[in-house]
Structure 1
Amino acid sequence: PIVLILPGMKAYNRNRLIQKHINFIIENKQIFIPSLMIDLKEYLTKPKQKSILQPAAQCMILYHLQKQKLNYLNYKQLARLLQYRYLTISRAVENLNTLGICRVDGTKLKKIVFDLDKKELWEKALPFMNTPVKKKVYINDTLPDEIIFKTNINAFYIEWE
């Protein structure tokens, strides 16, 4: 049989070839030769969920511990309070729930519940916490004034003469 060999192809184009029973091979992806009853595909397994807290989940824990309790707030209320999108809150709560840090009450109107007291919650969440600092840069020279930004008082140092 004649076989079309290609380096790559979009999924919808592969589906068209399959519907028309055209023999093809996509390198490292798929072999489809129906006349020989061959249909092999590379199935990608979903990557194992990392055992770290997503930024929004980490924010929820810190808010719960430092500002106000988030127990029994639904996702919409959490999104409004923390200024995140609903989908981000949903994923963050799923992340917390998967790691056993919180539980979810309700089916239609889901609410977050932290069963642990503050100290236990902190100790349970701490191993999963991730630093928000992406990159550290060390310099020996003094930075020019035009590239220095004033920030919160806790984030910069002023040398008094």
Structure 2
Amino acid sequence: MKTDVFGLTINYKSWDKKQALPLYVAGNYEIDEAIVSNNRFIVMRPIGDLPTLPAMKKHIEKIQKIDDVPVAFYLKNLSDFRRKGMLESNIPFMTEKQVFLPFIGTLLMEEKNNALYKEKFMFSTQQLFLMYLYNRQNKLYVANVGKKLPYSAMTLSRAVKQLEASDLFLVYKDGVNKVIESKYDRRELFERAKPFLLDPVRKYGYIEKSRIDENMVLASESALAKNSMLNPSKLITYAIDEQKMDINQMENELVDPNKQIRLELWGYDPKLFSDDNVADGLSVALSLREIVDERIEEAIDECIERELNEK
């Protein structure tokens, strides 16, 4: 079966692992495998009443213990309150009028005038946003950005338009040069941008320590521990651009933390803004913002404070 949603072609087929699920999950959903933009994911359609957000998260976990791919819910109706909760909880969903698939960096909605807009930043936009913050200047010239980000002029143009559409930036011409300028100072800009920002981690797995290479940098709690009072975990975490690692060469199971590392596959190159072989603090903070742990939360706050300190 094939459907077209806002120009996204989604191909469906029956998911053959449903029998491995607990009955309370399998009996309450129609479950299919889907492919969109070369990304495979699972679609869960509730049969009866919609589950609570905590229940949805648990049901996603049950699926991913069997099949380690993203999971999205297809919902016939979605209230504004539930939509807001699912966005804040980063729970992917689809309806006839809304699509939120963060694993491909997409949120599309149908406005009254049938115009389509993207609410979550694309990964290219997120990198442009981070470059603005790390540039530490009021103005960022797009021509200079094009020399540093690995994107075509068309992709970069879309990213600039999305920044402008967020209403956080002014975009104007300085002579023949296009300029990006924030409406806010760096601290307020980051806070206001949080609803638009994506978790950079697309997938993760485990590899042997001997396979660490120059494309990888410390990430997650390992990066936090490097620059804060957080005690380092025995299991070291690195990150790499997903384009530079074949997920089939990674293990799903942690067997020995003395011999393995946890490897995150990011939607953009974590080396781009890295310092001293450590992923940039703002991206690390975004990758950990769903974790409820007072120690980590304090370390994240310290990290953000350091990165956004006006120099």
Q: Which runs of structure 2 are paired with 1:30-109 in the superposition (5 Å)?
A: 48-69=116-137, 71-73=139-141, 75-106=142-173, 109=177
The runs of at least 4 consecutive aligned structure 1 residues that moved more than 4 Å come to 143-146
Does 1:126 find its partner at 2:194? yes
Give the match for residue 111 of structure 1: 179
CA distance in 1 between partners of 2:151 and 2:136 (Å): 17
Deviation at 1:79, TM superposition (A): 0.5
The residue identity in structure 1 corresponding to 2:155 is: T
Deviation at 1:84, TM superposition (A): 2.8
The residue identity in structure 2 corresponding to 1:104 is: V
Deviates more, 1:111-120 or 1:57-66: 57-66
Tell me the percent identity. 23
Deviates more, 1:88-97 or 1:151-160: 151-160
Q: Which runs of structure 2 are paired with 1:17-36 in the superposition (5 Å)?
A: none
SS in 1 for 2:171: strand
CA distance in 1 between partners of 2:156 and 2:209 (Å): 39
Change (3 A) 1:144 1:119: closer
CA distance in 2 between partners of 1:78 and 1:127 (Å): 24
Deviation at 1:122, TM superposition (A): 0.2
CA distance in 1 between partners of 2:186 and 2:208 (Å): 44
Confirm or deny: 8 A CA contact 2:118 2:162 kept in the other structure. Answer: no
Confirm or deny: 8 A CA contact 1:76 1:86 kept in the other structure. Answer: no
CA distance in 2 between partners of 1:145 and 1:97 (Å): 43
Aligned Cα root-mean-square deviation (Å) = 3.2
More strand by share: 2
- Consecutive unaligned residues in structure 1, runs of 5 or more: 1-44
Confirm or deny: 8 A CA contact 1:72 1:111 kept in the other structure. Answer: yes
Q: Aligned residues, how many?
A: 110
CA distance in 2 between partners of 1:59 and 1:144 (Å): 29
| Structure with larger Rg | 1
- Consecutive unaligned residues in structure 2, runs of 5 or more: 1-109, 223-235, 237-256, 260-311
Deviations 1:65-101, CA, capped at 9 Å, x for gaps: 234436141x322211334322222110100111112
Q: Work out which structure has the larger RCO, using CA pairs closer than 8 Å and 6 or more positions apart in sequence.
A: 1
The residue identity in structure 2 corresponding to 1:96 is: L
Change (3 A) 1:159 1:98: same
Change (3 A) 1:76 1:144: closer
Deviation at 1:125, TM superposition (A): 0.8
The residue identity in structure 1 corresponding to 2:144 is: Q
Give the match for residue 217 of structure 2: 152
CA distance in 2 between partners of 1:145 and 1:111 (Å): 43
Give the match for residue 80 of structure 2: none
Q: TM-score, normalised by structure 1?
A: 0.54
